[in-house]
Amino acid sequence: MRTFSLGAKSFLLLALLAALLAGGAFSAPVTVKGYVLDSACAFTKSLDKPISRECAISCANAGSQLVILAEDGTVYWPIAGTTPSSGQNPKLLPFAGQKVNATGTLYKRGGSTAIVIDKIEAQVASQK
């Protein structure tokens, strides 16, 4: 029977860890807090919050993807965790123009941050 040295075991453990991290996902669920607004306004108008609920709904219904804009300016792109993928506007549309808490798994790539949302709810007035 063949045994592995401590160095070989350490190498295998580090290789496994590197492979897991290379996927870009943070395994622990995170909660993102921010406004739901359309992606075009988040970038072209440099908004800190939506102009109005009606505006966000109108843009979403016209095809603009809804995103979550955090207070620190991070734009979180909601994505599906399935393949084939699906748009996430139906999940976010009830919260358009509102502050939300969204819990899920984050993915980062090339300066973009995406979230697979497991749970989303409107923030109550006393929350920031």
Q: How many helices (H) and strands (E) does the chain have?
A: 4, 5
| CATH level 3 topology of 25-122 | OB fold (Dihydrolipoamide Acetyltransferase, E2P) (2.40.50)
pLDDT recorded at residue 55: 95
Q: What is the pLDDT of residues 16-73, one digit of tens each?
A: 444 444 445 556 799 999 999 999 999 999 888 999 999 999 999 999 999 999 999 9
Q: What is the pLDDT of residues 94-105, one digit of tens each?
A: 999 999 999 999
- State the Cα–Cα distance between residues 11 and 53, nearest whole angstrom: 53
Q: How far is CA 35 from the centre of its chain?
A: 12
> pTM of the predicted model, to two decimals?
0.77
Strands 75-78 and 66-70: antiparallel
In this structure, the dihedral spanned by the alpha carbons of residues 110, 112, 115 and 121, taken in order and rounded to 10 degrees, is 170
List, in order, residues 6 or more apart from 81 with CB less than 8 Å away.
Answer: 105, 116
pLDDT recorded at residue 128: 55
Domain-by-domain residue ranges, the chain? 25-122
If you average pLDDT over residues 76-82, what whole number do you get? 95
pLDDT recorded at residue 14: 46
pLDDT recorded at residue 28: 78
